[in-house]
Copies of this chain bind each other. A is one copy, B any other.
């Protein structure tokens, strides 16, 4: 496989227009709401999504231009391997957020926990489920022992 082509399925609308002020994860962005607007040709696929409380939004970091293998994570002043972080400047500019679903409005899903830039191209939606996605007792690498208050301030970015 040389390259693989991904197509936009819609666009994500949020209050965030400034990269430097966008929360880095939904856990720091609980009160920011957003809308995932799906193009009409894919809307039929939204059936049954409203019965889940949380969903993964997959998207392209469309305003990221750099690509690094080592990076200082937003939450810590130490250089880490890119694959041990969720930083956008990764070899493929694909990100996801686990957001809380508020409801469906026509061809859009309203959600809270918006940590995504306005205008971001949406490439997939997947349900978050207890059976598949909630893992107990994980070892959390460099995130172990982060000061919670400091993490919140850095992660929220304001």
> Contact residues of A with B, CB < 8 Å?
1-9, 25-27, 42, 44-49, 51-55, 58, 60, 62, 69-70, 80-86, 90-94, 98, 121, 123-143, 146, 151
Cα A141 to Cα B84 with chains together (Å): 31
Cα A123 to Cα B51 with chains together (Å): 30
**A139 and B52 form a contact (CB under 8 A):** yes
The verdict on A7 contacting B126 (CB below 8 Å), with A45-B83, A81-B49 known, is no
The verdict on A98 contacting B45 (CB below 8 Å), with A92-B9, A124-B90 known, is no
**A129 and B121 form a contact (CB under 8 A):** no
Give the Cβ gap from A3 to chain B, nearest Cβ, in Å: 5
Q: Which residues of B contact A25 (CB under 8 A)?
A: 131-132
Q: Which of these, B47, B123, B132, contacts A81 with CB under 8 Å? A: B47
**B52 and A86 form a contact (CB under 8 A):** no
**A4 and B151 form a contact (CB under 8 A):** no
Which residue of chain B has the shortest Cβ distance to A43 in the bound complex?
B69
